[in-house]
Amino acid sequence: MITNLLKVMKREVSKIIKELLVAFTIVFIFLFLASSVISSYEKVDIAKAFEITLFHIVSAAGEPANLSNFFYLTIIFITLGVIYYMFEKFVDLMTELEIGGALMRTKISMLKDHYIICGAGRVGLHAAKKLKEEGKKFVIIESNSEIAKVAKEKGFLVIEGDCLKEDILKKARIKKAKGLLACMGRDDANVFVTLTAKDLNPKIKVASRVNNLDVLGEFKRAGADYIVAPEVTGGFELAEKILEL
């Protein structure tokens, strides 16, 4: 486990550092090109041109609009965009270095014959609780960061992302999974994830939640093996309980 953890951390940190270096290089290239233009236009050396470029980048927004300022504002726009990207990658790097997050990713990377729960709402969390009680291996995919945080606090393995995207399903090791539970509140999303899951892993068993019985046929055509309508099953259970009295 420790060896795998270190390998995952090393691979992810190396990837993010490379992306940071690429972003830094892009910023440097843009500043160098701008300085070269200024050097040629103002007839000064590159060092002085670089100084002029930085000065204009800082002050261009506050000066009257002209062709020169549009040039600098373009450089500002591109540079700030890349810097923002670098900031996001730096945050990702800090997250990767956080031991708990790396440990979770390592556990997920080792999953086999497991279940994937798409959606950590009330239905998804109840399904997770049942699987945990049965001693089954599973991972939850949730796009809402606050809901994902709640699921993590309950001790579940969680991937924060959109389960409608193939790369997220692949992170959940769908090709090695035994089953998938589509627990989202939207029928179209549950149908789509069923189709995608069956495409990525034809052998996987899919149990899907359906909210509108009028679209039941779409789930069957998508390849859902089990279809559950919470409102219907809830009504049946209530009727069964009252008939026992």
How would CATH label the architecture of 2-100? Orthogonal Bundle (1.10)
Tell me what the mean pLDDT of segment 193-212 comes to: 94
Q: How confident is the model at residue 168 (pLDDT cuts 50, 70, 90)?
A: very high
Res 8 pLDDT > 60 = no
- The larger pLDDT score, comparing residue 210 to residue 232, is at 210
Question: In whole numbers, what is the pLDDT of the chain averaged over residues?
Answer: 80
The one-letter amino acid at 234: G
Q: How confident is the model at residue 184 (pLDDT cuts 50, 70, 90)?
A: very high
* CB-based contact 158:152 (threshold 8 Å): yes
Residue 141's pLDDT is 96
| Cα–Cα distances in angstroms (integers) from residue 8 to residues 17, 94, 107, 166, 175, in the given order | 14, 14, 10, 21, 19
| Cα–Cα distances in angstroms (integers) from residue 73 to residues 31, 53, 56, 79, 80, in the given order | 12, 11, 9, 10, 10
| Burial degree of 3 (CB within 10 A; 0-12, 13-18, 19+) | exposed
CATH domain 111-243 topology: Rossmann fold (3.40.50)
Residue 164's pLDDT is 94
CA distance 135 to 131: 6
CA distance 74 to 65: 12
Tell me what the mean pLDDT of segment 201-220 comes to: 91
Residue ranges per domain, the chain? 2-100, 111-243
* Angle formed at CA 235 by CA 231 and CA 236, multiple of 5 degrees: 120
* Angle formed at CA 77 by CA 73 and CA 79, multiple of 5 degrees: 110
Residue 70's pLDDT is 64
pTM of the model: 0.61
